[in-house]
């Protein structure tokens, strides 16, 4: 019996999939990827994200990505933060999490104010706590700060996930003890990506997830001319995770599926 997989993070709402989204999902189903979480990145794409939901198969998260601060006008940002909770409440049949939100120290501080990043992040954490919905976190070169901030405020009961985890094995325990899941993407298929590889070996079973981060992060060994990653590539990532951990693909598939279903409420 083949174990089904959940893609914990894929951007099927983006224009990269606008011409063949249904075919992309059919390819995923054919590879036993039958459920997915689609996170949004900015308020002006929330509608497209919501439209990407599919009963019992695809659910969504609403939020504001740190990279959105590069181009999002301040008035639109403030309006989005103000309207986030109400928008989520109006679509609770589809929205299962808050995000993609977080901190990214790779952004030029001369262009994106680090304090503004923190404020936008914490505002979304507050919404997640108030609605008791898990967080979908984007954390790049900011893990210590993110942990410090999260420890200082109320959190949703199921905490959430750190997508495409890159924080290193030394921080795995800190994240998991705080109650967060760590999700692994195609990065773990690249032999030189030591940080996510070592972290993938260290995370406990009950806190691990797998994702494609489609259309980004095409796994090594997948030959596709347009370099677009798709949810159907998830078995390659799950197999890499299993190999790194000395486990079977069936075990990793079952554990990550159970974890995703519990975290996001799939039925």
* Mean per-residue pLDDT, 27-42: 98
Confidence of residue 248 (pLDDT cuts 50, 70, 90): very high
Confidence of residue 113 (pLDDT cuts 50, 70, 90): very high
Confidence of residue 227 (pLDDT cuts 50, 70, 90): confident
Enumerate the domain spans of the chain.
Answer: 13-264
DSSP reduced 3-state for 155: coil
CB of 114 closer than 8 Å to CB of 66: no
Q: What mean pLDDT is reported for the chain?
A: 97
Position with higher pLDDT, 225 vs 140 = 140
Task: Mention every residue, 6+ apart, whose C-beta is less than 8 A from residue 26.
Answer: none
pLDDT number for residue 31: 97
Measure the CA–CA gap between 241 and 82, rounded to whole angstroms: 39
CB of 179 closer than 8 Å to CB of 155: yes
Structure tokens at 31: 């590879």
225 pLDDT more than 80: no
* Mean per-residue pLDDT, 121-133: 99
Beta bridge partners of 62: 98
Q: What is the pLDDT of residues 44-101, one digit of tens each?
A: 999 999 999 999 999 999 999 999 999 999 999 999 999 999 999 999 999 999 999 9
Residue 141 gets the label, from left (phi > 0), alpha (psi -120 to 50) or beta, of: left
Query: Which listed CATH number (3.40.462.40, 3.20.20.140, 3.30.1180.20, 3.30.70.260) goes with 13-264?
Result: 3.20.20.140
pLDDT number for residue 103: 99
175 pLDDT more than 70: yes
Task: Mention every residue, 6+ apart, whose C-beta is less than 8 A from residue 166.
Answer: 139, 140, 187, 195, 196, 199
pLDDT number for residue 1: 57
DSSP per position, 168-202 = -GGGHHHHHHTTEEEEE-GGGGSTT-HHHHHHHHH
Beta bridge partners of 101: 137
């Amino acid at each position: 019996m083949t174990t089904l997989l959940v893609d914990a993070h894929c951007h099927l709402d983006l224009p990269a999939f606008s011409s063949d989204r249904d075919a992309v999902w059919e390819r995923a189903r054919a590879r036993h990827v039958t459920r997915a979480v689609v996170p949004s990145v900015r308020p002006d794409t929330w509608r497209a994200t919501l439209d990407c939901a599919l009963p019992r198969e695809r659910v969504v998260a609403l939020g504001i990505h740190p990279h959105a601060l590069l181009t999002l006008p301040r008035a639109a940002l403030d309006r989005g933060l103000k309207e986030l909770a109400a928008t989520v409440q109006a679509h609770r049949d589809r929205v299962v999490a808050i995000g993609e939100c977080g901190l990214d120290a790779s952004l030029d501080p001369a262009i994106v104010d680090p304090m503004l990043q923190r404020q936008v992040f914490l505002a979304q954490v507050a919404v997640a706590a108030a609605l008791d919905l898990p967080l979908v976190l984007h954390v790049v070169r900011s893990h210590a700060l993110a942990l410090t901030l999260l420890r200082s405020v109320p959190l949703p009961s199921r905490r959430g996930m750190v997508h495409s985890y890159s924080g290193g094995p030394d921080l795995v325990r800190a994240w998991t003890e705080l109650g967060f899941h760590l999700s692994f993407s195609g990065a773990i298929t690249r032999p030189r990506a030591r940080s996510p590889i070592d972290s993938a070996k260290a995370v406990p079973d009950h806190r691990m997830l797998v994702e494609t981060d489609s259309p980004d992060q095409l796994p090594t060994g997948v030959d596709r001319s347009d370099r677009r990653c798709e949810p159907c590539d998830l078995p390659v990532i799950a197999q890499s995770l299993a190999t790194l951990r000395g486990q079977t693909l069936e075990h990793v598939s079952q554990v990550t599926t159970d974890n995703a279903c519990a975290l996001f409420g799939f039925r």
